[in-house]
Copies of this chain bind each other. A is one copy, B any other.
């Protein structure tokens, strides 16, 4: 393919990736609205439901997000009464995040979310698995061969 052709929007891989991510987050909005969560907040809650008392940087490395994103997001979750934050006694630099009772309870409502989204995506099992594996490989590649630092 000529260089010229590669600049066509249709030829690009990254644009469908960008558009699909936007469309997906958009689709989550009405599904998550009853839980009072945005999609990134839902991701943080998923991490905490697997086990709370984690540090900001542990959450960050799970989700590939930094403190600049997480600090204000966690403050909003705290203001909503879903989590509470405390300094680790052994190392006062570390902030640990716990679920409140309300945060634990919200998990019951969240159980319906994956099925609701699956209904919106309209992909069969094979497509979902293949897409997930391909995307994981892509993330791994981009994480591994670091830019130049």
B residues near A62, Cβ cutoff 8 Å: 9
Q: Is the CB of A147 within 8 A of B46?
A: no
B residues near A13, Cβ cutoff 8 Å: 121, 128, 131-132, 135
Q: How many copies does the complex hold?
A: 2
Q: Is the CB of A6 within 8 A of B141?
A: no
For this complex, 23 residue pairs linking A to B, each with C-beta atoms less than 8 Å apart, are A4-B111, A7-B114, A9-B62, A12-B114, A13-B121, A13-B135, A15-B63, A18-B24, A19-B139, A20-B139, A21-B21, A22-B64, A23-B64, A23-B143, A24-B138, A26-B142, A30-B148, A120-B141, A120-B142, A120-B145, A121-B141, A123-B137, A123-B141
